[in-house]
């Protein structure tokens, strides 16, 4: 099978280019295995990867125009030659498939992604019913791979101002937590033209998320909560 | 070359559970903390821990830290240091509560308390009924904990050097540690980080084996740096093979799948663990279950076309339980095997998982090594915590749910002890120029261009050798051959050449550094294993099938110089309770 | 422009106006299909009725508001440089204002 790979090494290349590799596809092969095979043949090829099982979030790449985690994407999903693999879109390329994710991390940091409590610290755990805990499912599993935010046109246009689907999902993860005691503070911080309201429900994020999370729904919850608070 | 030098109070190498938990203690105390990580912190391998963290909270049934301590000592096959184990089991309880207060989304019981599940090797009343001691966030507990710790560090404003690779430790003339030479992966430029105290929290080295649950990054970097700084590695022969890896692939199927009621069957449909461990059955200790699976396959009762795995059944639990309690392994099985465990059994085989050994440290995280007057002298300015350290709380075999506990308790404690140390040591030590030169020489080691052995090729060969010669069952003959071959590979490292010596994000260069680390650590494993002539915990020798407490109830210490071995006694005296004397280990 | 008006308030007004626009359109289209005014005079008197006149005026007000928020969002997305953005925003605003005045003059005519 033919794989067309985006290549760019700033030390050598003036311009990025596409390089083609033909890789024998075996049963059960993931895209990461293909990338590793290409790296075996050409060690100058750079991409991030680590756990190989979709939990560390290192190997987000753009395959035939869609963001994927290479390690949990079966090659068998692709029937048509060639498969085009590019870096995550909208981010500055450092080398080959490695992109600079600083803006993405800054937006994550910007939503104060930690539990805020005002009450005195109890001797034991804070109590939380299984139902209250269930509200966090589909939110806390995010692995910060960046597939969602880098597929979001609003994030492409305003990566320094718009929080993006990932950070908004994380924001809702704390707003939805029965233990968190900073609802008003968080909602105030989210208001303004750029933070939440650059989301135009395009829903590329939902389509891209390799963990099947739904940032658009989380954003909807944030807006509804704002609405509830304002009337 | 214009070498950048920066000064911090504390340098932490590694941003997994141990490093981050230490960093947050120090940053909260307004210390200037530099955390160096070769990957973005939440990509550290703590993220992959599935089952949970042990603490005798007693949320499901009565429990006590003393029972937890007994189980851990027994699980260690009596090689664990009982003072450190007592300390860890006591500290477990406040540690888990602190995690919860910091926001970890633990699963919950109807009472609103933290959900706890049964895990292998756990008992109540010193070896009687099964306990439920493992605090869990579904089957993604490590993910929940690592992300929470990272969040706490953002809040405390720790200084992260993300995607920086540590080349080597720097030392003063007396051998005290003064910081490290690191490399910015993105630019390929070196940088010197000076610190009054340095914590190694670089995690495990599972990449020494071909089939492993460990990530690509788990290359024993901290262990190898310690070796090169003259510090030995302790108990490296004890490497845990997790019983249930995805057959042929190695990624993990959590022990929680058996804790929730799953069990193993062979090709005859027999629930074979009943033969090996009549009491605990599928929840026997990991070394016991892993050996049972390998034995079943060797004796021809494996499943599949090649009869090379056994099956793990959880389908009888019903789809609802699988979806709620084991969503992560369900996803993994579907993706990698095309098997939905809610309806079909999962093909599993043991996979290299965890190294019990590591950099010898005491329960305050201080690195201790023989120097002048005893086996446990403190190395000034150097700490180690997490999987790269050997406190030793796991001895010859680690219990499931104790590794997250280890990294959290000793990560936290080393952070607090470093605070005290900084109070007593207000000034930076002076780095010895020869130490800096050595580190720089290593940094430039792979600059030479030309024809040679490719990194990937040697790495592949090495991992295969380790798997074949230091696996689940080890005989003298197999290991001797293994040692020769690792020596040979080590000598061929000289001939490794990079095809591409460019600076920017050169992952091949990183892999070359990692390969050198792997080989040093691999050598410590085969050397220690060859010389330990007994079977204890994870170290299983068909030629010496019995545990030998008279000669071998002692820790081994491997030194890089001349591949020398030394030994030191096990600390059998706990802090406040009576010792648990060695007994035959049956489950 | 306050921060609030540009974020949450704007979003809320966009939704509220959308609901009104939809309701008005359904009603008028339904009316025109079920009981279409037969000549210009009938149409004029239907529109000139005080309820209908007010509803129509509100319709155009909501339309202009909706359009303003929508177009402004697009400009915020695509036009980065502050000067250019301000210029285009002002042009759009003027255009909408003229449209509004024009609608007003027509509506005054049917009274």
Residue B507 has pLDDT above 60, yes or no: yes
Substitution target from B56, B108, B211, B449 for chain A, most A beta carbons within 10 A: B108
Q: B63, B214, B47, B48: which is closest to B134 by C-alpha?
A: B63
Residue B189 has pLDDT above 90, yes or no: yes
Largest CA distance in chain C: 53
The pLDDT tens digits of the residues spanning B463-478 come to 999 999 999 989 999 9
Q: A161, B515, B415, B425: which is closest to C6 by C-alpha?
A: A161
pLDDT confidence band for B1 (50 / 70 / 90): low
* Inter-residue contact B291 to B396 (CB < 8 Å): no
Q: Give a three-class secondary structure readout of B442-479.
A: HHCHHHCCCCCECHHHHHHHHHHHHHHHCCCECCHHHH
Substitution target from B96, B97, B98, B112 for chain A, most A beta carbons within 10 A: B112
Largest CA distance in chain B: 68
Residues of A with Cβ-Cβ distance to C73 under 8 angstroms: 197-198, 200
Give me the helix-helix angle, C82-110 and C50-78, nearest 10°.
Answer: 170
Counting Cβ atoms within 10 Å, is residue B488 exposed (0-12), middle (13-18) or buried (19+)? exposed
Alpha carbons within 13 A on the beta-carbon side of C90: 6
Least CB–CB distance from C4: residue in A153, A191, A194 = A191
Alpha-carbon distance of B256 to B330, in angstroms, equals 12
Residue B53: what are its φ and ψ, rounded to 5°?
A: -125, 130
Pick the catalytic residue: B133, B196, B286, B585?
A: B286
Which domains are assigned to chain C?
A: 3-110 (1.20.1300.10)
* Inter-residue contact B40 to B112 (CB < 8 Å): no
Nearest CA in chain A to B99: A125
At B554 the three-state DSSP class reads strand
What are the beta bridge partners of residue B303? B309
Per-residue model confidence (pLDDT) at position C1 = 36
Which domains are assigned to chain A?
A: 2-99 (3.10.20.30), 102-230 (1.10.1060.10)
Give me the helix-helix angle, B402-424 and B82-101, nearest 10°.
Answer: 90
Alpha-carbon distance of B93 to B409, in angstroms, equals 10
At A203 the three-state DSSP class reads coil
Q: Which pTM value belongs to this model?
A: 0.94
Largest CA distance in chain A: 62
Nearest CA in chain A to B44: A56
Alpha-carbon distance of B396 to B72, in angstroms, equals 11
Positive or negative CA dihedral for B512, B517, B518, B520?
positive
Residues of A with Cβ-Cβ distance to C6 under 8 angstroms: 192-193, 197
Number of H helices, E strands in chain B: 16, 20
Do B103 and A115 count as a contact with CB atoms less than 8 A apart?
yes
Alpha-carbon distance of A138 to B95, in angstroms, equals 26
Which domains are assigned to chain B?
A: 247-350 (3.90.700.10), 435-550 (1.20.58.100)
* Inter-residue contact B436 to B503 (CB < 8 Å): no
Calculate what percentage of chain A has a pLDDT beyond 70: 100
Do C11 and A197 count as a contact with CB atoms less than 8 A apart?
yes
Do A223 and C11 count as a contact with CB atoms less than 8 A apart?
yes
At B415 the three-state DSSP class reads helix
Question: For the residues B152-172, what does the mean pLDDT come to?
Answer: 97
Alpha-carbon distance of B98 to B557, in angstroms, equals 35
Residue B539 has pLDDT above 90, yes or no: yes
* Inter-residue contact B195 to B188 (CB < 8 Å): no
Catalytic residue check, B286? yes
Number of residues assigned to chain A: 231
Residue C6 has pLDDT above 80, yes or no: no
Residue C78 has pLDDT above 70, yes or no: yes
ipTM comes to 0.97
Any CB–CB contact under 8 A between A9 and chain B? yes
Residues of A with Cβ-Cβ distance to B331 under 8 angstroms: 54
Per-residue model confidence (pLDDT) at position C2 = 42
Per DSSP, the residues of B173-239 read TTS-EEEEEEEETTT--EEEEEEEEEEE-----GGGSSSBSS-TT-S-HHHHHHHHTT--EESTT-E
Alpha-carbon distances, residue B334 vs A168, B246, B340 (angstroms): 29, 11, 5
Question: For the residues B121-135, what does the mean pLDDT come to?
Answer: 95
Alpha-carbon distance of A42 to B508, in angstroms, equals 10
> Cα angle vertex B318, ends B313, B321, to 5°?
100
The pLDDT tens digits of the residues spanning B288-339 come to 999 999 999 999 999 999 999 999 999 999 999 999 999 989 988 998 888 9
At C101 the three-state DSSP class reads helix
Calculate what percentage of chain B has a pLDDT beyond 70: 100
């Amino acid at each position: 099978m033919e794989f067309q790979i985006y290549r760019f090494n700033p030390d050598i290349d003036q311009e990025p280019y596409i390089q083609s590799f033909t890789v024998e596809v075996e049963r059960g092969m993931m895209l990461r295995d293909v990338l590793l095979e290409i790296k075996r043949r050409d060690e100058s090829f750079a991409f991030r990867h680590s756990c190989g099982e979709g939990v560390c979030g290192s190997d987000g790449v753009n395959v035939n125009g869609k963001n994927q985690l290479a390690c949990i994407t079966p090659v068998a999903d692709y029937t048509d030659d060639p498969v085009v693999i590019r870096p995550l879109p909208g981010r500055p390329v450092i080398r080959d498939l490695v992109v600079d994710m600083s803006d993405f991390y800054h937006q994550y940091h910007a939503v104060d992604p930690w539990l805020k409590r005002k009450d005195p610290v109890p001797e034991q755990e804070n109590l939380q019913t299984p139902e209250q805990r269930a509200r966090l499912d589909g939110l806390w599993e995010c692995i910060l791979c960046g597939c969602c935010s880098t597929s979001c046109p609003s994030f492409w246009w305003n990566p320094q101002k718009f929080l993006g689907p990932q950070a908004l999902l994380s924001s809702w993860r704390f707003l939805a937590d029965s233990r968190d005691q900073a609802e008003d503070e968080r909602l105030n911080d989210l208001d303004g033209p750029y933070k939440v309201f650059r989301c135009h429900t395009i829903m590329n994020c939902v389509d891209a998320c390799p963990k099947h999370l739904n940032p658009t729904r989380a954003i909807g919850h944030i807006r509804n909560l704002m609405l509830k608070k304002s009337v | 070359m214009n070498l950048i030098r920066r000064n911090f109070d504390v340098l932490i190498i590694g941003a997994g559970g141990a490093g981050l938990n230490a960093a947050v203690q120090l940053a909260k105390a307004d210390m200037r903390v530099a955390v160096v990580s070769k990957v973005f912190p939440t990509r550290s391998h703590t993220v992959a821990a599935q089952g949970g963290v042990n603490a005798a909270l007693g949320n499901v049934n009565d429990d006590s830290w003393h029972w937890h301590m007994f189980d851990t000592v027994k699980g260690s096959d009596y090689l664990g240091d009982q003072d450190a184990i007592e300390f860890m089991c006591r500290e477990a309880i406040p540690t888990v509560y602190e995690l919860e207060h910091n926001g970890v989304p633990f699963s919950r019981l109807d009472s609103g308390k933290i959900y706890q599940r049964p895990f292998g090797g756990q008992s109540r009343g010193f070896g009687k009924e099964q306990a439920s001691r493992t605090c869990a966030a579904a089957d993604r507990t490590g993910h929940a904990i690592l992300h929470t710790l990272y969040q706490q560090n953002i809040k405390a404003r720790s200084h992260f050097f993300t995607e920086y690779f540590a080349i080597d430790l720097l030392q003063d003339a007396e051998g005290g540690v003064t910081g490290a030479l690191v490399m910015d992966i993105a630019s390929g430029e070196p940088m010197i980080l000076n610190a009054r105290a340095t914590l190694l929290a670089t995690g495990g080295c599972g990449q020494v084996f071909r089939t492993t649950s460990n990530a690509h990054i788990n290359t024993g970097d901290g262990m190898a740096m310690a070796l090169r700084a003259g510090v030995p590695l302790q108990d490296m022969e004890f490497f845990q093979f997790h019983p249930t890896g995805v057959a042929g692939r190695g990624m993990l199927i959590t022990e929680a799948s058996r804790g929730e009621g799953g069990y193993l069957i062979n090709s005859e449909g027999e629930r074979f663990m009943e033969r090996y461990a009549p009491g605990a059955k599928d929840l026997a200790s990991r070394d016991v279950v892993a050996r049972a699976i390998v034995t079943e396959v060797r004796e021809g009762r494996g499943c599949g076309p090649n009869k090379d795995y056994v099956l793990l059944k959880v389908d009888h639990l019903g789809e609802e339980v699988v979806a709620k309690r084991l969503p992560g392994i369900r996803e993994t099985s579907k993706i990698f095997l095309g098997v939905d465990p809610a309806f079909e059994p999962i093909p599993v085989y043991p996979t290299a998982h965890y190294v019990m050994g590591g950099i010898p440290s005491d329960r305050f995280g201080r690195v201790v090594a023989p120097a002048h007057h005893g086996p446990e002298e403190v190395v000034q300015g150097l700490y180690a915590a997490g999987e790269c350290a050997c406190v030793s709380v796991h001895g010859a075999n680690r219990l499931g749910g104790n590794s997250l506990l280890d990294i959290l308790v000793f990560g936290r404690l080393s952070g607090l002890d470093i605070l005290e140390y900084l109070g007593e040591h207000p000034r930076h030590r002076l780095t010895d120029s020869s130490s800096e030169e050595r580190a720089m020489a290593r940094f430039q080691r792979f600059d030479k261009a030309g024809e040679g052995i490719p990194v990937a090729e040697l790495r592949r060969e090495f991992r295969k050798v380790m798997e074949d010669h230091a696996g689940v069952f080890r005989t003298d003959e197999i290991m001797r051959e293994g040692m020769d071959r690792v020596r040979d590979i080590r000598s061929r490292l000289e001939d490794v050449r990079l095809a591409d010596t460019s600076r920017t994000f050169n992952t091949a260069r990183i892999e070359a550094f990692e390969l050198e680390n792997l080989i040093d650590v691999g050598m410590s494993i085969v050397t220690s294993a060859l010389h330990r002539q007994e079977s204890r915990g994870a170290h299983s020798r068909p030629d010496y099938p019995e545990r030998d407490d008279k000669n071998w109830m002692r820790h081994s210490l491997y030194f890089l110089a001349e591949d020398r071995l030394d030994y030191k006694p096990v600390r059998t005296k706990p802090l406040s309770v009576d010792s648990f004397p060695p007994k035959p280990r049956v489950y | 422009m306050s921060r609030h008006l540009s974020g949450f308030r704007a979003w809320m007004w966009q939704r509220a106006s959308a609901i009104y626009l939809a309701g008005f359109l359904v009603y008028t289209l339904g009316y025109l299909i079920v009981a279409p005014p037969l000549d210009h005079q009938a149409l004029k008197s239907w529109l000139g009725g005080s309820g209908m006149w007010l509803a129509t005026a509100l319709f155009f007000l909501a339309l202009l508001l909706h359009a303003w928020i929508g177009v402004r969002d697009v400009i915020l997305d695509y036009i980065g440089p502050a000067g250019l953005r301000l210029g285009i925003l002002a042009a759009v605003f003027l255009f909408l204002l003229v449209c509004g005045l024009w609608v007003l003059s027509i509506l005054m005519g049917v009274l």
